Chains A and B, each alone.
Chain A
Amino acid sequence: MNNVDLSVKVGPMTFRNPILLASGTVGYGNEISEFIDLNKIGGIVTKSLSLKPRKGNPPQRIVETPSGMLNAIGLANVGVEEYIKEKIPFIEKYDVPLICNIAASTIEEYVECTRILTEQAAVDAFEINVSCPNVKEGGLQFGNNVAAVGKITEKVKSVTNKPVIIKLSPNVSYISEFAQAVKDSGGDAVSAINTLVGTAFNIFTRKPKIRNVNGGLSGPAIKPVAIAKVLEIHQKVDIPIIGAGGIMDWKDVLEFMIAGSSAVQIGTLNFIDPAAPMKIIKELEEYCLDAGLSKLSALTGSYII
């Protein structure tokens, strides 16, 4: 066997491989393109976009924790208008599925952002961020509320024909209830998980290490939590899952797929080794060859419990 099929289907979307780059860890694609060939990546998810530009939180925004990091960037972004004018011309030169991540403070703002961006031919799909832990309004206020997540999904779907993925928060008791609401409201897929709320103090000053006090925990520290959430959704809800949370290598990708993910997102790893997504794709191919697996997607939900 010398040909393996790495392609995956996520609802109506097909990606040439399961490796997507997570929102907030690749900007708008410009910088990371110096380390990877975007034409070979499964897909790219933009930094969260809001209707108007957002300045984001004051420093300190980032702190390292054991096998992880906390961030409270506060959705700093250029806004939809500048994104279309200044950022899309760069990414549309590449043959890579472009998923726009949308953040908002109101349901109307989610809808308006989606409506504006859906007119852009370069935009292939949307990922709706209902789970940012680092802003005062919107974000988790929606992500913790099943009815709100359902309503956002329904309203956003009503203004676009492009696929809509909802990025779910792990900071809830039963994530599958949220996935069910997404499915019932016409959403095409879910991303699981966004960061976990975390806090770190400086014991000498007794002040929080992050100015925002709370941050979102990411990195390998959260991988077992993410795997559990993916599994819960897969067991309870019939909806495609894009798994994310602390992936560091190809073996982590397989683990997420076995637990029920159709595709995955690489996040924090992009900060540490921006070339890693390319290595992982190559290693997945080698794994398939070694394992005699002709189609990688056969692994999705293949757990034996």
Chain B
Amino acid sequence: MFIINAPVVKTIELENQIFLLKIHSPEIASLINPGQFLNIRVSDSVHPLLRRPFSVCDVEGDEFYLMFNIYGEGTRILAHKHPGELVDILGPLGHGFNYSGDYDTAVIIAGGLGAAPFPYLTRKIGGNKKILTFVGGRTHIDIIKYGMKNISVSTDDGSSGFTGTVVQLLESKLGDLNKKKIKVFGCGPNAMLSALKTVCIKQDIECEVSTECAMACGFGICQGCPIESTQRKDRYMLVCKDGPVFNIRDIEI
């Protein structure tokens, strides 16, 4: 965990207002794991004031990518960074995915921008295990496929792929899989994670999810990002320090 100013290499606009920011930092690139995040100060100004947390989308050599959409002032500034401009980065933060282990097939489930950490996870899992990816959105323009493989799509309105939620899509495919030999990796809105938890518990499937919460510092001092634990009712865990990736059985969602 450290603070570093790193230069933008380029900004790439994918379809549908999704941006990729490529940043040069051997320090971050060599240390960060899939699912870990960075807390980024988008300008020296006091507005926006706080850093913005982003999970790392992918790593290539000495460079890494962030994936985001323009949601507010912070992401608008970030999307307009020019090559060579320095970005103030605090990280690497939190715990990432545990993708080693005794399973044959990684099943990736992404809802909308929940796709962000998965290109890097897909790269890291590499050829060691089979990967199946399910991406979902409300409608076809919400579907992000960047950097992932063996993709099946769901949309709530049926405008692309399976009609229904991405968790319903997963359920429909579970019959083809050996549930003892898969591990699910999820990221998306809370409603999706909640449905995913129900399925994984019912079907006895191992599952890790990346969560999100508004936060200020990103490393445990502001206490701004509590998440309810299934183990201890007398205290919250923190998304930033104890997560953002959790075993889905350890969190109330």
Closest to B235 in A: A55
- Tell me, rounded to whole Å, the shortest Cβ–Cβ distance linking A260 to chain B: 24
- Knowing A66-B47, A248-B46, the reply to whether A25 touches B3 (Cβ < 8 A) is no
Interface of chain A: mostly helix, strand, loop or mixed: loop
- A28 to B59 Cα, complex, angstroms: 34
A157 and B217 CA atoms in complex are apart in Å by 34
| A76 at the binding interface (Cβ < 8 Å) | yes
> For chain B, what secondary structure do more than half of its interface residues adopt (helix, strand, loop), or is it mixed?
loop
User: Count of A-B contacts with CB under 8 A?
Assistant: 97
Size bracket of the B interface: 20 to 34
CB proximity of A60 to chain B, nearest CB, Å: 5
Other-chain residue from B2, B41, B46, B225 in contact with A220 (beta carbon distance below 8 A): B46
Whether B214 pairs with A61 at a CB distance below 8 angstroms is yes
B43 to chain A minimum Cβ distance, whole angstroms, is 11
C-alpha spacing A60/B213, complex, angstroms = 8
Q: Is B234 an interface residue (CB 8 A)?
A: yes
In the complex, which residue of chain A has the Cβ closest to the Cβ of B238? A76
Which residues of the partner chain B approach A219 to less than 8 Å between Cβ atoms?
A: 46, 49
**Chain B residues near A31 (CB-CB < 8 A):** 219-221
Q: Are A67 and B223 in contact (CB under 8 A)?
A: no
In the complex the two chains form, is A61's CB within 8 Å of B49's CB? no
Given A31-B221, A60-B213, A272-B41: A55 touches B236 (CB 8 Å cut-off): yes
Q: Are A63 and B214 in contact (CB under 8 A)?
A: yes
Q: Does B251 lie at the interface of the complex (its beta carbon under 8 Å from any beta carbon of A)?
A: no
Task: Tell me the B residues contacting A by CB distance below 8 Å.
Answer: 1-3, 41, 46-51, 90, 213-217, 219-228, 234-236
- Which 10 pairs of residues, A with B, have the shortest CB-CB distance? A62-B224, A271-B216, A271-B217, A27-B221, A67-B46, A220-B46, A31-B220, A73-B223, A61-B224, A67-B47
Q: A47-B223, A59-B227, A62-B222 are in contact. List 5 more A-B contacts (CB 8 A).
A: A53-B234, A59-B213, A69-B216, A76-B226, A272-B216
